[in-house]
Amino acid sequence: MRMTGGQIIAEYLIREGVPYLFGVSGHGITSLLDAFVDRRGEIEVVQAIHEQGAAHMADAYYRVSGKVCGVFTSIGPGAANTAMGIANAYIDSIPILLMTGSVHTHMRGRGVLQELERTQWANFPRMMEPVVKRWWQPSKVDQLPNVLHLAFNLMLEGRRGPVLLDLPMDLQADFAEVELSDPVSRRPRGRPHGDPEMVNRAAEVLLRARRPLILVGGGVMASGGEAALQQVAEFLGAPVTVTWMGKGTIPEDHDLYAWPCGDLGSISGNTLAREADVILAVGCRFTDRTASSFRRGITFSIPPTQLIHIDIDPYEIGKNYHTEIGIVGDAHATLEDLLVALRDLRPARDYRTTPYFAHIQGLKKQWDEALRPTRESNASPMAISRVLAEARRFLDRDAIVVTGAGNPQSQVFTEFPVYGPRQHITPGGFSAMGFEVPGAIGAKLAAPNRQVLTITGDGGFLQTVQELAMAAQNDLPAVFLVCNNNGWECIKNLQTNQFGPDRVIATTFLKRDGSQFSVNLAQVAEGMGCHAERITHPTEVGPALQRAFASGRPAVVEAMCSQEQPWNGLTATGWWDVTVPAYHEEARARYESARREESLT
C-alpha cells in the first residue's frame, strides 16, 4: 500500500484500538495530524492546553481503563514540555505513546527553528532517554511499520512504560510502499509464571508463619491480579498493606485491609509490618516512603522478618532488602500458582477465629480512633481530614478519586477508603503537583459514567489549572475539590516540625510585606467555563459536591482549609529521611540518631 508516514501511523493506531491522542499542535507535527482528518470517528484527536497536561491525561486514561493513548507535540518546546508528564508515567510503569515532531531529515544539523543540535543533530530524544523505555527516530518512511510494532510490544511487555517516536517532518509527509501486519500476530501472548519450585517454597514458608503480612504495590493491579491477591490473603488470614500504587487493590472495608505502611502509613499498617515474621511483597519496589527510609523497626524489621518478593522486574528483587525467596513473574499468574500451592498443603479455614485476626482488628480500631479528632473537626477554615470524610460520605462506592501531591495526596492515601481497583489514581513514584487537573480529565474520558473527583491542594491545582479550560471546551464534567490552605503547606509543616516555627520560607503564599496572598480559585475556574463555588464550613462539602456533580459541567469546589496542624496534615506514624542543616544542632542530633538506625545493606 502507498501511504505517507502520517497515514501509516493513523492506520496502525486505529488497528491497535488507541482511543485518544492528546496534544498541542505546531508546524512540526501538522503532516501527521493531517492524516487523522480522514479518520474522524475511528480515533479522537483532542487538544490539551499544555503538553504536560496532555501526557497526564494519557497517563490517567491508562490507569483507569488499561488502554494506551498517544500524545502528540510539535518539535522543540512542545516536545520538551512533556518531560515531566512522561517521567511521571515512566516511574509508575504506565505506557504512553509519545510522538514528537522532529527536524526534516534533509535539514538535520542546520539549526532550524526549535532544533536542539549543538551536541548532536535532532537531539531531543536524548533529553527523554532516562524517562522512556526506548526511543526511535526513524529516518525512512518504510521503517515505520516495524518501529510501531516494536514500540507497542515494548510498551506493553514485562514492566510497562512510555516510549518515544521522534518523527522527522518529511517522514510524516512522504509516501512509501509498505505492508502493515496485524499487530496481534507479532505480540507475545500469555503471562510469565514464577518458578514453580520457588512458589512451592514460598507457600511452605507462608504456612509456617505466625504473623504473615502482604505488601501490595502497583504490580498487582497492573497484572489484573486483585482477586487472586485477596484469595491468598484470606487463605492465610494475612493483613494487606499497600503502597501508593497498590491502594484500591482490595476493597478498603475488607476486614484484612490494614491501611498503608511507610512514613505516611497508619498505626495498623506499620505495626503489623514491623511485627510480621514473613512478608509477602508483590509488585512493589520498597521505596523510602513505603519503608520509612529503611529505618529498622519503624515500618519493617527485615531481617529478622523473612521476605518473599514477587515482581515482574528482576531488578527490584533484593534491591533494598535481603530476600528469602525472590520470584520473577507476573503478579497475577504467580499469585494464582501460589494459591494452588497453598491449597495443596492445607485445607482452607476461617481466618476470623485466630488471635492474630483479633490483633489486626484492634490495631485498625486504634487507627480509626487516632483519626477521629480531625475527621470530626468542625473547624473553619476546615480540617482536610473532615473534608475527606464528607467527600467519602457523598461519593458513590465506585467513584474515581484523583490526587497529585501535598497533604491531599498523603491524606487520601492514609485516611480515605476506596473500594476497588483503578479507583485511586495518583502519581506514586513522582508525587507530582500538576497531575491533579489533567489526571481527572483523562480519568473522566476513560469512565464517562462514573463520578470522577480530584482532591487537590491549591498548589497542585495551580500548576496545571489551565486544563480546566480544556475540560470546559470538551464538556467533561469532572469535579475538582480544592483544599485551599494558601500555600504549599505540607512543606511548611516539614519546615516548622524539623527546623522550628520561625524557619518558614517560600512555602505559604505571602506578599513581600509578609501579608497573605490568596488567589480566588473559584473565580479563576468560573472564568474558564466551570461551575464553581467557594465554601468555608465542612457541612457545606456534601451539598456543594451535590451541586457540582449535578451541574453537568466541570466543576470546582474550593474548600477553605486551615493552615494549622493538626487540621492541616496527617498523623505521621513512620519516618522519612529529610535532611536537617548541621547548624540546627538539636534537630540535627535527633536526625543523626534516627539515621544511624537506617539499614542500607
Ligand X SMILES: Cc1ncc(C[n+]2csc(CCOP(=O)(O)OP(=O)(O)O)c2C)c(N)n1
Contact footprint for ligand X (CB under 6 A): 405-408, 431-434, 457-460, 483, 485, 487-491
| Choices 56-64, 269-277, 408-416, 457-465; region in contact with Mg ion by CB under 5 A | 457-465
168 vs 404, beta carbon nearer ligand X: 404
| Choices 35-43, 225-233, 455-463, 571-579; region in contact with Mg ion by CB under 5 A | 455-463
Query: In degrees to the nearest 10, what's the CA dihedral of 194, 326, 245, 487?
Result: -160
In this structure, the number of other CB atoms found within 10 A of the CB of residue 590 comes to: 13
Which one of ligand X, Mg ion, none is in contact with 560 (Cβ closer than 5 to 8 A by kind)? none
Minimum Å gap between C-beta 398 and Mg ion is 28
4 vs 454, beta carbon nearer ligand X: 454
382 vs 545, beta carbon nearer ligand X: 382
Minimum Å gap between C-beta 401 and Mg ion is 18
Minimum Å gap between C-beta 374 and Mg ion is 16
Minimum Å gap between C-beta 481 and ligand X is 12
| Choices 355-363, 449-457, 495-503, 518-526; region in contact with Mg ion by CB under 5 A | 449-457
252 vs 458, beta carbon nearer Mg ion: 458
489: contact with Mg ion by CB under 5 A: yes
In this structure, the number of other CB atoms found within 10 A of the CB of residue 563 comes to: 15
457: contact with Mg ion by CB under 5 A: yes
| Choices 79-87, 155-163, 246-254, 477-485; region in contact with Mg ion by CB under 5 A | 477-485
- DSSP character at residue 107: G
Q: Which of 185, 94, 182 is nearest to 429 (CA)?
A: 94
- Interface residue with Mg ion among 458, 467, 533, 558 (CB under 5 A) is 458
Which one of ligand X, Mg ion, none is in contact with 460 (Cβ closer than 5 to 8 A by kind)? ligand X
391 vs 483, beta carbon nearer ligand X: 483
In DSSP terms, 325 is beta-bridged to 308
Tally of CA atoms within 13 A in the half-sphere of 427 that contains its CB: 28
65 contacts: CB under 8 Å, gap ≥ 6:
422, 446, 447
At residue 598, what is the residue type?
E
Q: By rule CB under 5 A, what count of residues binds Mg ion?
A: 5
Contact (CB, 8 A) for 537 and 375:
no
82 vs 493, beta carbon nearer Mg ion: 493
**Grid coordinates representing 446?**
476513560
Q: In which residue are the cell numbers 529521611 written?
A: 577
Question: What's the N-to-C CA distance of the chain in angstroms?
Answer: 58
Structural Rg of the chain based on CA atoms: 25
Contact (CB, 8 A) for 156 and 187:
yes
- The burial class, CB within 10 Å (0-12 / 13-18 / 19+), for 300 is buried
Cα gap 58→164, rounded to integer Å: 14
Three-state DSSP state, 106 = helix
- Interface residue with Mg ion among 485, 493, 495, 571 (CB under 5 A) is 485
**How many angstroms separate the Cα of 187 from the Cα of each of 11, 152, 184, 285, 393?**
18, 9, 5, 27, 44
**How many angstroms separate the Cα of 502 from the Cα of each of 489, 495, 496?**
15, 9, 7
Which one of ligand X, Mg ion, none is in contact with 138 (Cβ closer than 5 to 8 A by kind)? none
Three-state DSSP state, 255 = coil
Minimum Å gap between C-beta 563 and Mg ion is 8
436: contact with Mg ion by CB under 5 A: no
311 vs 458, beta carbon nearer Mg ion: 458
φ, ψ at 461 (rounded to 5°): -60, -45
515 vs 601, beta carbon nearer Mg ion: 515
Which one of Mg ion, ligand X, none is in contact with 490 (Cβ closer than 5 to 8 A by kind)? ligand X
**How many angstroms separate the Cα of 260 from the Cα of each of 413, 421, 462, 586?**
7, 15, 28, 31
26 vs 428, beta carbon nearer ligand X: 428
Which one of Mg ion, ligand X, none is in contact with 429 (Cβ closer than 5 to 8 A by kind)? none
Tally of CA atoms within 13 A in the half-sphere of 419 that contains its CB: 8
Minimum Å gap between C-beta 434 and Mg ion is 13
Minimum Å gap between C-beta 459 and Mg ion is 5
236 vs 388, beta carbon nearer ligand X: 388
414 vs 508, beta carbon nearer Mg ion: 508
Minimum Å gap between C-beta 510 and ligand X is 14
Minimum Å gap between C-beta 439 and ligand X is 13
Minimum Å gap between C-beta 221 and ligand X is 23
**Grid coordinates representing 555?**
466543576
Give me the residue whose beta carbon is nearest to ligand X.
457
415 vs 458, beta carbon nearer ligand X: 458
459: contact with Mg ion by CB under 5 A: yes
558: contact with Mg ion by CB under 5 A: no
Minimum Å gap between C-beta 84 and ligand X is 7
Give buried/exposed letters for 102-140 (b at 16+ CB in 10 A, else e): bbbbebbeeebebbbbeeebbbbbeebeebbbebbbbee
**Grid coordinates representing 579?**
535532611
Cα gap 530→518, rounded to integer Å: 20
Helix (H) or strand (E) holding 334: helix 331-345
508: contact with Mg ion by CB under 5 A: no
243: contact with Mg ion by CB under 5 A: no
Minimum Å gap between C-beta 41 and Mg ion is 42
Q: Which residues bind Mg ion (CB under 5 A)?
A: 457-459, 485, 489
